[in-house]
Homo-oligomer: A and B are copies of this chain.
Amino acid sequence: MNDATRAARAHRILDVTAELLVRHGYKRVTIDDVATGADIGKGTVYLHWRTREALFWAVLQREAMRMLEQLLADLADDPGLALPSRLMRAIFLAASERPLVLALLLSDAEILGSLARDSAVADAQKELSGNENYLELLAEQGLLRPGLTPSSAGYVLGSVMRGFFAETGELSVTARADLLHDVLHRTLEADGAPPATAVAALADAVTGLFTAIVSVQRAQLGSAYQ
């Protein structure tokens, strides 16, 4: 079997697993279900992933990666999207239409199961709601509101993201996303239009950061991807 066929099968397995995870939750998805759903034998699943956890984690990684790839594409057209208010609004919207990414960010025990207590999952959560490098970057480019340290800004960013993801009112997703933008813009960013050079530098750095994450994930997915 060639690499392309093998990768296609890996993706079919991930598709089935993702579907089952969203529909039934971590505990109720068995490897037998996955194998049956993908029309293959159970042993074949283990030709791609060593354990059940590794398979489920690969599903989450692929979802997060797809979101990052979309963000990378948007970022290429519009560097201003790298600013925290706009970036977090975009992440909020993109995550809202991806149940598994949402589950990841909300630590949904029903869907994540034992992965909810995994350190890799904790890392991914941090990564997606403002990591340290990103905040240092903002500070370096003078894009942080004067008086804010990267650490304070990080706490605010983390808290606000967590709160907005967790709180589900009657408002539409876009209305909530716009409010998130407002809060972060007024709270974290300096007054006035940011200098285009700083924004460009930030966008480059964010692009590099996201690309690095995507590469690491792609490597971990191994031959299962592409």
Contact = CB atoms under 8 A, between A and B. Distances in A.
A80 interface: no
Q: Is the interface of A mostly helix, strand, loop or mixed?
A: helix
**Interface size range on A against B:** 20 to 34
A163 B169 contact: no
Contact of A160 (B151, B159, B176): B159
Nearest to A154: B169
Q: Interface centre among A155, A176, A187, by most B CB within 10 Å?
A: A155
Interface of A: 151-152, 154-156, 158-164, 166-167, 169-171, 175-176, 179, 182-183, 186-187
Given A154-B169, A160-B160, 12 more contacts: A151-B170, A155-B176, A158-B163, A159-B164, A160-B163, A160-B183, A161-B163, A162-B162, A162-B166, A166-B166, A182-B187, A187-B187
Contacts of A167: 155, 158-159, 162
A102 to B, nearest CB: 15
